[in-house]
Amino acid sequence: MAKVTVTLLGTAQDGGVPQAGCSCQRCISVHEGQSPELYPVAIGIIDEEGRFHLVEASRTLSRQLRVWAKAHPDQSLEIISPIQSVSLTHLHLGHIDGLGQFGREVMGRQNLRLLASKPVMDELATKSCLGPFCTELIESDSKVELGKGVSIEFHRVPHRDHEVGQTHGIVVRGRTKSLLFLPDHDTWAETLALHNKGSIREWLNHLRVDVALLDGTFFTIDEVAGTRIDCSGIPHPPILDTLQLLGKRMEGDADISFIHLNHTNPVIDDPQKRKQVEDLGWRIGKQGQVWEL
């Protein structure tokens, strides 16, 4: 029987790396071909019938489809196509700015499944970008069949709730394993309180996930001191804070990787910072990485 797979198609925060308007050495090294480009976060799911399902739609979609195809040479495809469904966690830039590429100007799709919460779908309707899609409204904590052998669940998390829309983490369930995709939330205290859980472990165990891709936007808030970024307007739990809450990986823990990395985040290219994460048994997400569910 064919396995369900999840492929990590991007590891960066919404702006990607390099980020527009930034002349830091990390971004310049990508411009000059010395370091690889990092795409905004997204995952690709292949169901047991070999059909393709996308979570998030970034402006780098064309290159991410190539990453997806290269991660699955057995598919004998140069580019993953056609996609059967798109699911969205929330409305922020890097998660939705590729939706237009499914329209007549690029792929010319019709009646493509689009799954999101009602507040997200209502806002998208005002932007006139739903033409290629057949929309499905998903409630928090609800489960929907995505394709043969795979379902997804939406779980609400606090993230800039004063703005329009809602934010959800998405659990992808195969026949034998499950994966949590949580690229954005404000703080662990708020997320755990919303779900009435006392620790990250308790929540992940409640969700019954084997793999967790967690918000790792910043390593510490100190990394953006003196930059144009005002972190008060874009709250995320820093990796170092998450590590302090988790401690060392124990038997039975989910396999955690950090994603949604801002271009300021030193784990992108600092081996010592990566070592701090890996010495505790956790990981930094890698574009093209594949999990079998």
Three-point CA angle 229, 95, 257, nearest 5°: 80
Structure tokens at 18: 């390099």
The alpha-helical segments, DSSP class H, found in the chain are: 25-31, 61-71, 93-96, 118-126, 188-194, 200-207, 239-246, 271-278
Tell me the torsion sign for CA atoms 131, 108, 106, 289: positive
CA separation for the pair 50, 2 (Å, rounded) = 8
What confidence tens digit (pLDDT) does each residue in 79-92 have? 888 999 999 999 99
163-194 as b/e, with b when 16 or more CB fall inside 10 Å? Answer: eebbbbbbbbbbeebbbbbbbbbbebebbbee
Q: Is residue 147 classed exposed, middle or buried when 0-12, 13-18 and 19+ CB atoms within 10 A define those classes? A: buried
CATH 3.40.630.30 matches 5-292: no
Q: What is the pLDDT of residue 53?
A: 97
What confidence tens digit (pLDDT) does each residue in 178-195 have? 999 999 999 999 999 999
Residues in the chain: 293
Q: Is the pTM of this model over 0.85?
A: yes
CB atoms < 10 A from the CB of 252, how many?
7
Residue 119 has pLDDT above 80, yes or no: yes
Question: Which of 123, 12, 105 minimizes the C-alpha distance to 60?
Answer: 12
Q: Which residue has the higher pLDDT, 144 or 226?
A: 144
User: Domain segments of the chain: what residues?
Assistant: 5-292
Q: Sorting pLDDT into bands at 50, 70 and 90, what band is 233?
A: low
Residue 129 has pLDDT above 80, yes or no: no
CA separation for the pair 292, 91 (Å, rounded) = 28
- Compute the mean pLDDT over every residue in the chain, rounded to the nearest whole number: 93
DSSP at 140: T
